[in-house]
Protein backbone atom coordinates (compact mmCIF):
# COMPACT_ATOMS: atom_id res chain seq x y z
CA UNK A 1 0.00 0.00 0.00
CA UNK A 2 2.86 2.33 0.79
CA UNK A 3 4.31 1.65 -2.66
CA UNK A 4 0.98 2.48 -4.27
CA UNK A 5 0.92 5.76 -2.36
CA UNK A 6 4.41 6.65 -3.50
CA UNK A 7 3.52 5.92 -7.13
CA UNK A 8 0.41 8.08 -6.92
CA UNK A 9 2.18 10.97 -5.21
CA UNK A 10 4.88 11.01 -7.90
CA UNK A 11 2.32 12.20 -10.47
CA UNK A 12 2.24 15.88 -11.35
CA UNK A 13 -1.38 16.86 -10.65
CA UNK A 14 -2.86 15.68 -7.37
CA UNK A 15 -6.34 14.19 -7.44
CA UNK A 16 -7.25 14.07 -3.78
CA UNK A 17 -10.65 12.47 -4.26
CA UNK A 18 -9.27 9.70 -6.45
CA UNK A 19 -6.56 9.05 -3.87
CA UNK A 20 -9.18 8.84 -1.13
CA UNK A 21 -11.34 6.34 -2.97
CA UNK A 22 -8.34 4.21 -3.99
CA UNK A 23 -7.12 4.10 -0.39
CA UNK A 24 -10.58 3.26 0.86
CA UNK A 25 -10.86 0.38 -1.60
CA UNK A 26 -7.44 -0.91 -0.60
CA UNK A 27 -8.30 -0.59 3.08
CA UNK A 28 -11.54 -2.49 2.54
CA UNK A 29 -9.82 -5.28 0.61
CA UNK A 30 -7.16 -5.59 3.31
CA UNK A 31 -9.79 -5.52 6.02
CA UNK A 32 -11.87 -8.20 4.33
CA UNK A 33 -8.79 -10.44 4.24
CA UNK A 34 -8.10 -9.91 7.94
CA UNK A 35 -11.76 -10.48 8.78
CA UNK A 36 -11.66 -13.78 6.85
CA UNK A 37 -8.56 -14.93 8.79
CA UNK A 38 -10.19 -13.89 12.05
CA UNK A 39 -13.21 -16.04 11.28
CA UNK A 40 -11.04 -19.04 10.37
CA UNK A 41 -8.97 -18.58 13.52
CA UNK A 42 -12.10 -18.42 15.65
CA UNK A 43 -13.48 -21.57 14.00
CA UNK A 44 -10.27 -23.48 14.65
CA UNK A 45 -10.03 -22.49 18.29
CA UNK A 46 -13.64 -22.49 19.37
CA UNK A 47 -14.29 -25.30 21.86
CA UNK A 48 -16.06 -28.32 20.37
CA UNK A 49 -19.50 -28.64 21.82
CA UNK A 50 -22.06 -31.36 21.62
CA UNK A 51 -24.67 -30.21 19.12
CA UNK A 52 -28.18 -31.29 19.97
CA UNK A 53 -31.18 -31.42 17.69
CA UNK A 54 -34.58 -29.95 18.52
CA UNK A 55 -35.78 -33.52 18.94
CA UNK A 56 -33.20 -34.04 21.68
CA UNK A 57 -30.86 -36.36 19.75
CA UNK A 58 -27.20 -35.68 19.28
CA UNK A 59 -26.32 -34.36 15.82
CA UNK A 60 -23.25 -35.42 13.90
CA UNK A 61 -20.93 -33.38 11.74
CA UNK A 62 -21.41 -33.64 7.98
CA UNK A 63 -18.37 -31.60 6.95
CA UNK A 64 -18.19 -27.96 5.91
CA UNK A 65 -20.42 -25.95 3.61
CA UNK A 66 -19.28 -22.70 2.12
CA UNK A 67 -21.13 -19.43 1.80
CA UNK A 68 -20.12 -15.98 0.64
CA UNK A 69 -20.81 -13.31 3.22
CA UNK A 70 -21.27 -9.69 2.31
CA UNK A 71 -19.67 -7.59 5.04
CA UNK A 72 -19.14 -3.83 5.33
CA UNK A 73 -15.59 -4.55 4.12
CA UNK A 74 -16.70 -6.55 1.08
CA UNK A 75 -17.11 -10.25 0.32
CA UNK A 76 -15.70 -12.71 2.83
CA UNK A 77 -15.92 -16.44 2.18
CA UNK A 78 -16.89 -18.66 5.09
CA UNK A 79 -16.87 -22.46 5.31
CA UNK A 80 -18.82 -23.57 8.34
CA UNK A 81 -19.66 -26.95 9.83
CA UNK A 82 -22.95 -28.55 9.01
CA UNK A 83 -24.59 -30.85 11.55
CA UNK A 84 -27.39 -33.26 10.90
CA UNK A 85 -29.64 -35.34 13.07
CA UNK A 86 -29.58 -39.05 12.25
CA UNK A 87 -32.95 -39.45 13.92
CA UNK A 88 -35.15 -36.81 12.27
CA UNK A 89 -32.94 -35.42 9.53
CA UNK A 90 -32.92 -31.76 10.68
CA UNK A 91 -29.80 -29.74 9.96
CA UNK A 92 -28.01 -26.94 11.82
CA UNK A 93 -25.12 -24.54 11.28
CA UNK A 94 -24.00 -23.82 14.86
CA UNK A 95 -21.36 -21.31 13.74
CA UNK A 96 -23.98 -19.30 11.83
CA UNK A 97 -25.98 -19.17 15.04
CA UNK A 98 -23.01 -17.87 17.02
CA UNK A 99 -22.15 -15.31 14.35
CA UNK A 100 -25.73 -14.06 13.97
CA UNK A 101 -25.90 -14.97 10.28
CA UNK A 102 -28.60 -17.65 10.26
CA UNK A 103 -30.21 -17.98 6.82
CA UNK A 104 -28.54 -14.87 5.51
CA UNK A 105 -25.48 -13.95 3.51
CA UNK A 106 -25.37 -10.43 4.95
CA UNK A 107 -23.22 -9.72 7.99
CA UNK A 108 -24.89 -8.06 11.00
CA UNK A 109 -23.16 -4.78 10.14
CA UNK A 110 -24.52 -4.84 6.59
CA UNK A 111 -28.01 -5.75 7.79
CA UNK A 112 -27.99 -2.81 10.17
CA UNK A 113 -27.09 -0.46 7.32
CA UNK A 114 -29.72 -1.99 5.03
CA UNK A 115 -32.41 -1.63 7.71
CA UNK A 116 -31.52 1.97 8.43
CA UNK A 117 -31.28 2.95 4.77
CA UNK A 118 -34.54 1.17 3.91
CA UNK A 119 -36.35 2.86 6.76
CA UNK A 120 -35.25 6.30 5.62
CA UNK A 121 -36.15 6.32 1.97
CA UNK A 122 -37.58 4.27 -0.89
CA UNK A 123 -35.73 1.03 -1.45
CA UNK A 124 -34.31 2.02 -4.88
CA UNK A 125 -32.93 5.21 -3.39
CA UNK A 126 -31.62 3.29 -0.37
CA UNK A 127 -29.65 0.98 -2.68
CA UNK A 128 -28.02 3.99 -4.34
CA UNK A 129 -27.25 5.55 -0.96
CA UNK A 130 -25.60 2.37 0.31
CA UNK A 131 -23.51 2.09 -2.82
CA UNK A 132 -22.44 5.71 -2.53
CA UNK A 133 -21.84 5.92 1.22
CA UNK A 134 -20.64 2.42 2.03
CA UNK A 135 -19.53 0.91 -1.28
CA UNK A 136 -22.13 -1.83 -0.87
CA UNK A 137 -23.85 -3.31 -3.90
CA UNK A 138 -27.25 -4.62 -2.84
CA UNK A 139 -30.52 -4.95 -4.71
CA UNK A 140 -33.48 -2.76 -3.68
CA UNK A 141 -35.57 -5.90 -3.17
CA UNK A 142 -32.97 -7.25 -0.76
CA UNK A 143 -33.03 -4.00 1.21
CA UNK A 144 -36.81 -4.27 1.37
CA UNK A 145 -36.62 -7.84 2.62
CA UNK A 146 -33.93 -7.17 5.25
CA UNK A 147 -35.44 -3.87 6.45
CA UNK A 148 -38.81 -5.55 6.93
CA UNK A 149 -37.21 -8.48 8.71
CA UNK A 150 -35.36 -6.18 11.09
CA UNK A 151 -38.56 -4.15 11.51
CA UNK A 152 -40.39 -7.29 12.62
CA UNK A 153 -37.59 -8.02 15.10
CA UNK A 154 -37.97 -4.47 16.41
CA UNK A 155 -41.71 -5.01 16.79
CA UNK A 156 -41.04 -8.24 18.66
CA UNK A 157 -38.54 -6.52 20.96
CA UNK A 158 -40.96 -3.64 21.56
CA UNK A 159 -43.85 -5.94 22.38
CA UNK A 160 -41.69 -7.92 24.81
CA UNK A 161 -40.74 -4.67 26.51
CA UNK A 162 -44.36 -3.61 26.46
CA UNK A 163 -45.25 -6.82 28.29
CA UNK A 164 -42.54 -6.23 30.89
CA UNK A 165 -43.57 -2.63 31.47
CA UNK A 166 -47.21 -3.61 31.91
CA UNK A 167 -46.30 -6.31 34.41
CA UNK A 168 -43.80 -4.23 36.37
CA UNK A 169 -44.40 -2.05 39.40
CA UNK A 170 -44.45 1.71 38.79
CA UNK A 171 -40.99 2.24 40.32
CA UNK A 172 -39.31 0.52 37.36
CA UNK A 173 -39.82 3.61 35.18
CA UNK A 174 -37.19 6.31 34.71
CA UNK A 175 -37.12 9.33 37.00
CA UNK A 176 -38.95 12.40 35.77
CA UNK A 177 -38.19 15.97 36.65
CA UNK A 178 -40.73 16.85 39.39
CA UNK A 179 -42.02 19.93 37.56
CA UNK A 180 -42.36 18.18 34.21
CA UNK A 181 -45.72 18.11 32.52
CA UNK A 182 -46.20 14.76 30.87
CA UNK A 183 -47.97 14.67 27.50
CA UNK A 184 -49.51 11.77 25.62
CA UNK A 185 -50.95 12.44 22.20
CA UNK A 186 -52.21 10.29 19.35
CA UNK A 187 -53.78 10.58 15.94
CA UNK A 188 -54.42 8.59 12.79
CA UNK A 189 -53.19 8.99 9.24
CA UNK A 190 -54.02 6.95 6.12
CA UNK A 191 -51.39 5.23 4.00
CA UNK A 192 -51.97 3.72 0.54
CA UNK A 193 -52.22 -0.08 0.65
CA UNK A 194 -52.67 -2.93 -1.80
CA UNK A 195 -56.18 -3.86 -2.91
CA UNK A 196 -56.21 -7.15 -1.00
CA UNK A 197 -55.72 -5.24 2.25
CA UNK A 198 -58.97 -3.36 1.66
CA UNK A 199 -61.42 -6.19 1.05
CA UNK A 200 -64.69 -5.51 2.84
CA UNK A 201 -63.58 -2.13 4.14
CA UNK A 202 -65.52 1.05 3.65
CA UNK A 203 -63.61 4.17 2.78
CA UNK A 204 -63.86 7.83 1.98
CA UNK A 205 -63.92 7.48 -1.83
CA UNK A 206 -67.04 8.73 -3.63
CA UNK A 207 -68.23 5.15 -4.27
CA UNK A 208 -67.65 4.18 -0.64
CA UNK A 209 -64.50 2.20 -1.35
CA UNK A 210 -61.21 2.71 0.47
CA UNK A 211 -57.69 3.25 -0.80
CA UNK A 212 -55.91 3.60 2.49
CA UNK A 213 -55.60 2.00 5.89
CA UNK A 214 -55.20 4.05 9.03
CA UNK A 215 -51.90 4.09 10.87
CA UNK A 216 -52.34 5.07 14.50
CA UNK A 217 -49.43 7.09 15.77
CA UNK A 218 -48.86 8.05 19.37
CA UNK A 219 -46.22 10.16 21.01
CA UNK A 220 -45.08 10.92 24.52
CA UNK A 221 -43.16 14.06 25.44
CA UNK A 222 -42.52 16.34 28.37
CA UNK A 223 -42.60 20.06 28.94
CA UNK A 224 -40.86 21.98 31.69
CA UNK A 225 -40.23 25.49 30.49
CA UNK A 226 -41.91 28.28 28.58
CA UNK A 227 -40.59 30.18 25.61
CA UNK A 228 -39.93 33.95 25.54
CA UNK A 229 -43.58 34.75 24.86
CA UNK A 230 -44.68 32.59 27.78
CA UNK A 231 -45.97 29.69 25.67
CA UNK A 232 -45.25 26.11 26.71
CA UNK A 233 -42.12 24.62 25.21
CA UNK A 234 -41.52 20.95 24.54
CA UNK A 235 -38.36 19.51 26.10
CA UNK A 236 -35.87 18.94 23.30
CA UNK A 237 -35.39 15.27 22.40
CA UNK A 238 -38.14 14.23 24.79
CA UNK A 239 -40.47 12.85 22.12
CA UNK A 240 -40.81 9.13 21.52
CA UNK A 241 -43.19 7.47 19.08
CA UNK A 242 -45.18 4.28 18.78
CA UNK A 243 -47.42 3.32 15.90
CA UNK A 244 -49.04 0.57 13.87
CA UNK A 245 -51.96 -0.34 11.68
CA UNK A 246 -54.03 -2.05 14.34
CA UNK A 247 -57.30 -1.91 16.28
CA UNK A 248 -57.82 0.97 18.68
CA UNK A 249 -57.95 -1.49 21.59
CA UNK A 250 -54.47 -2.85 20.80
CA UNK A 251 -53.17 0.62 20.10
CA UNK A 252 -54.50 1.75 23.49
CA UNK A 253 -52.27 -0.79 25.21
CA UNK A 254 -49.33 0.17 23.01
CA UNK A 255 -49.49 3.89 23.86
CA UNK A 256 -50.23 3.15 27.51
CA UNK A 257 -47.16 0.91 27.80
CA UNK A 258 -45.02 3.58 26.15
CA UNK A 259 -46.33 6.21 28.58
CA UNK A 260 -45.52 3.95 31.52
CA UNK A 261 -42.06 3.24 30.18
CA UNK A 262 -41.50 6.99 29.99
CA UNK A 263 -42.60 7.60 33.59
CA UNK A 264 -46.39 8.03 33.55
CA UNK A 265 -46.62 6.72 37.11
CA UNK A 266 -44.30 9.40 38.50
CA UNK A 267 -45.78 12.27 36.55
CA UNK A 268 -47.78 14.74 38.62
CA UNK A 269 -49.47 16.41 35.67
CA UNK A 270 -50.53 14.21 32.78
CA UNK A 271 -52.17 15.71 29.71
CA UNK A 272 -53.67 13.73 26.84
CA UNK A 273 -54.12 15.64 23.58
CA UNK A 274 -56.40 14.19 20.90
CA UNK A 275 -58.59 15.38 18.06
CA UNK A 276 -61.79 14.26 19.77
CA UNK A 277 -62.51 11.14 17.67
CA UNK A 278 -64.64 8.60 19.49
CA UNK A 279 -62.02 5.89 19.91
CA UNK A 280 -59.69 8.49 21.46
CA UNK A 281 -62.14 8.96 24.28
CA UNK A 282 -62.31 5.21 24.88
CA UNK A 283 -58.51 4.98 25.09
CA UNK A 284 -58.37 7.90 27.53
CA UNK A 285 -61.10 6.37 29.70
CA UNK A 286 -59.45 2.96 29.68
CA UNK A 287 -55.83 3.93 30.25
CA UNK A 288 -55.52 7.59 31.24
CA UNK A 289 -58.60 8.32 33.33
CA UNK A 290 -56.69 10.57 35.76
CA UNK A 291 -55.22 12.71 33.00
CA UNK A 292 -56.37 16.12 31.81
CA UNK A 293 -57.88 15.33 28.42
CA UNK A 294 -57.69 18.20 25.94
CA UNK A 295 -59.28 18.16 22.50
CA UNK A 296 -57.03 19.92 20.02
CA UNK A 297 -58.02 23.57 19.69
CA UNK A 298 -57.32 23.71 15.97
CA UNK A 299 -59.64 20.81 15.22
CA UNK A 300 -62.27 22.64 17.26
CA UNK A 301 -61.73 25.71 15.08
CA UNK A 302 -62.23 23.60 11.97
CA UNK A 303 -65.57 22.39 13.27
CA UNK A 304 -66.56 25.95 14.07
CA UNK A 305 -65.72 27.02 10.52
CA UNK A 306 -67.75 24.08 9.21
CA UNK A 307 -70.81 25.38 11.07
CA UNK A 308 -70.33 28.88 9.65
CA UNK A 309 -70.08 27.41 6.15
CA UNK A 310 -73.26 25.40 6.56
CA UNK A 311 -75.03 28.64 7.44
CA UNK A 312 -73.43 31.17 5.13
CA UNK A 313 -71.69 29.34 2.31
CA UNK A 314 -68.25 27.89 1.53
CA UNK A 315 -66.30 31.13 2.04
CA UNK A 316 -67.74 31.91 5.45
CA UNK A 317 -65.66 32.20 8.60
CA UNK A 318 -66.76 31.79 12.20
CA UNK A 319 -67.78 35.15 13.74
CA UNK A 320 -65.45 36.65 16.34
CA UNK A 321 -68.03 36.20 19.11
CA UNK A 322 -67.97 32.43 18.51
CA UNK A 323 -64.21 32.29 18.44
CA UNK A 324 -64.00 34.23 21.69
CA UNK A 325 -66.40 31.78 23.32
CA UNK A 326 -64.30 28.87 22.06
CA UNK A 327 -61.06 30.39 23.36
CA UNK A 328 -62.78 31.02 26.68
CA UNK A 329 -63.89 27.41 26.75
CA UNK A 330 -67.50 28.44 27.24
CA UNK A 331 -68.89 25.68 25.05
CA UNK A 332 -72.43 25.81 26.42
CA UNK A 333 -72.90 29.39 25.33
CA UNK A 334 -71.07 28.71 22.09
CA UNK A 335 -73.46 25.89 21.18
CA UNK A 336 -76.44 28.02 22.12
CA UNK A 337 -75.22 30.96 20.06
CA UNK A 338 -74.09 29.01 17.01
CA UNK A 339 -77.26 26.92 17.08
CA UNK A 340 -79.63 29.93 17.06
CA UNK A 341 -80.27 29.59 13.35
CA UNK A 342 -80.42 26.43 11.30
CA UNK A 343 -79.64 26.02 7.59
CA UNK A 344 -82.47 25.69 5.10
CA UNK A 345 -81.94 22.24 3.60
CA UNK A 346 -82.64 19.12 5.60
CA UNK A 347 -79.25 17.68 4.70
CA UNK A 348 -77.40 20.75 5.96
CA UNK A 349 -79.51 20.78 9.11
CA UNK A 350 -78.46 17.22 9.79
CA UNK A 351 -74.80 18.12 9.25
CA UNK A 352 -75.23 21.14 11.49
CA UNK A 353 -76.67 19.09 14.36
CA UNK A 354 -73.72 16.70 14.00
CA UNK A 355 -71.27 19.59 14.30
CA UNK A 356 -73.04 21.04 17.34
CA UNK A 357 -73.00 17.64 18.93
CA UNK A 358 -69.21 17.48 18.47
CA UNK A 359 -68.94 20.50 20.73
CA UNK A 360 -71.46 19.21 23.25
CA UNK A 361 -69.70 15.87 23.51
CA UNK A 362 -66.25 17.38 23.89
CA UNK A 363 -67.21 20.38 26.05
CA UNK A 364 -65.34 19.10 29.10
CA UNK A 365 -62.16 18.73 27.06
CA UNK A 366 -62.41 22.27 25.66
CA UNK A 367 -61.78 24.43 28.72
CA UNK A 368 -59.12 26.30 26.81
CA UNK A 369 -58.88 29.41 29.01
CA UNK A 370 -58.22 27.17 31.99
CA UNK A 371 -55.55 25.17 30.11
CA UNK A 372 -53.83 28.30 28.88
CA UNK A 373 -53.74 29.71 32.41
CA UNK A 374 -51.95 26.53 33.49
CA UNK A 375 -49.55 26.84 30.54
CA UNK A 376 -50.59 23.58 28.91
CA UNK A 377 -50.32 22.86 25.21
CA UNK A 378 -53.78 23.09 23.67
CA UNK A 379 -52.87 21.82 20.20
CA UNK A 380 -51.91 18.37 18.98
CA UNK A 381 -49.25 19.78 16.67
CA UNK A 382 -46.56 17.42 17.92
CA UNK A 383 -48.37 14.25 16.92
CA UNK A 384 -49.54 15.81 13.65
CA UNK A 385 -45.95 16.68 12.79
CA UNK A 386 -45.10 13.10 13.78
CA UNK A 387 -47.70 11.79 11.33
CA UNK A 388 -45.88 13.69 8.60
CA UNK A 389 -42.29 12.90 9.56
CA UNK A 390 -42.57 9.39 11.00
CA UNK A 391 -45.25 8.08 8.63
CA UNK A 392 -45.90 10.40 5.69
CA UNK A 393 -42.37 11.05 4.51
CA UNK A 394 -41.63 7.35 4.17
CA UNK A 395 -44.98 5.62 3.66
CA UNK A 396 -47.12 8.08 1.71
CA UNK A 397 -44.99 8.71 -1.37
CA UNK A 398 -46.62 8.57 -4.78
CA UNK A 399 -46.93 5.17 -6.38
CA UNK A 400 -46.58 3.28 -3.11
CA UNK A 401 -48.87 0.37 -2.27
CA UNK A 402 -48.07 -1.27 1.04
CA UNK A 403 -48.97 -4.59 2.52
CA UNK A 404 -50.09 -4.18 6.12
CA UNK A 405 -47.33 -6.56 7.24
CA UNK A 406 -44.63 -4.67 5.35
CA UNK A 407 -45.91 -1.26 6.46
CA UNK A 408 -46.07 -2.28 10.11
CA UNK A 409 -42.46 -3.51 9.96
CA UNK A 410 -41.23 -0.21 8.51
CA UNK A 411 -43.38 1.78 10.97
CA UNK A 412 -41.86 -0.14 13.90
CA UNK A 413 -38.39 0.51 12.53
CA UNK A 414 -39.01 4.22 12.04
CA UNK A 415 -40.63 4.70 15.44
CA UNK A 416 -37.64 2.94 17.02
CA UNK A 417 -35.05 5.01 15.12
CA UNK A 418 -36.84 8.35 15.56
CA UNK A 419 -37.30 7.67 19.27
CA UNK A 420 -33.53 7.24 19.53
CA UNK A 421 -33.82 3.57 20.53
CA UNK A 422 -32.33 1.73 17.58
CA UNK A 423 -28.93 1.25 19.21
CA UNK A 424 -30.64 -0.17 22.31
CA UNK A 425 -32.55 -2.58 20.13
CA UNK A 426 -29.47 -3.67 18.22
CA UNK A 427 -27.49 -4.32 21.40
CA UNK A 428 -30.38 -6.17 23.05
CA UNK A 429 -30.89 -8.26 19.90
CA UNK A 430 -27.55 -10.04 20.10
CA UNK A 431 -27.80 -10.78 23.81
ZN1 LIG B 1 -33.63 -34.64 15.31
**High-pLDDT (> 90) share of the chain, %:** 72
Confidence (pLDDT) at 38: 96
Q: How confident is the model at residue 297 (pLDDT cuts 50, 70, 90)?
A: very high
**High-pLDDT (> 70) share of the chain, %:** 98
- Tell me the CA–centroid distance for residue 152 and ligand 1, in Å: 28
- Tell me the CA–centroid distance for residue 41 and ligand 1, in Å: 29
Taking the model in full, what pTM does it have? Answer: 0.89
Q: How far is CA 236 from CA 128, 222, 239, 287, 295, in A?
A: 32, 9, 8, 26, 23
- Tell me the CA–centroid distance for residue 89 and ligand 1, in Å: 6
Report whether pLDDT(357) > 70: yes
- Tell me the CA–centroid distance for residue 48 and ligand 1, in Å: 19
- Tell me the CA–centroid distance for residue 58 and ligand 1, in Å: 8
- Tell me the CA–centroid distance for residue 227 and ligand 1, in Å: 66
- Tell me the CA–centroid distance for residue 50 and ligand 1, in Å: 14
Q: How far apart are CA 235 and CA 221, in angstroms?
A: 7
- Tell me the CA–centroid distance for residue 150 and ligand 1, in Å: 29
- Tell me the CA–centroid distance for residue 81 and ligand 1, in Å: 17
Confidence (pLDDT) at 214: 92
Confidence (pLDDT) at 255: 96
Report whether pLDDT(131) > 80: yes
- Tell me the CA–centroid distance for residue 56 and ligand 1, in Å: 6
- Tell me the CA–centroid distance for residue 51 and ligand 1, in Å: 11
The pLDDT tens digits of the residues spanning 165-216 come to: 888 876 555 677 878 899 999 999 999 999 888 887 777 777 777 788 999 9
- Tell me the CA–centroid distance for residue 87 and ligand 1, in Å: 5
Q: How far is CA 298 from CA 181, 213, 273, 311, 380, in A?
A: 21, 24, 12, 20, 8
Amino acid sequence: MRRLAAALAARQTPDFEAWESLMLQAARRGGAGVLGSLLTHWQQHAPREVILCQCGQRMSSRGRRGKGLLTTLGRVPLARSFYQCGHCGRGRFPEDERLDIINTTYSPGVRRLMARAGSQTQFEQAAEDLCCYAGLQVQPREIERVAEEVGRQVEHWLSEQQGQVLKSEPAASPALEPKAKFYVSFDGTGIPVRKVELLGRRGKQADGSARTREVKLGCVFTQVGLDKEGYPQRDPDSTTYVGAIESSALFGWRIYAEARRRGLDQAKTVIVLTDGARYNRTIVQTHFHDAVHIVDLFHAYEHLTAIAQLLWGPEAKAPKAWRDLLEAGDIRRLVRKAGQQLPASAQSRKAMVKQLRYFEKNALQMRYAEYRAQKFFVGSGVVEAGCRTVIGERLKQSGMRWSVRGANAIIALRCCILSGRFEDFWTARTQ
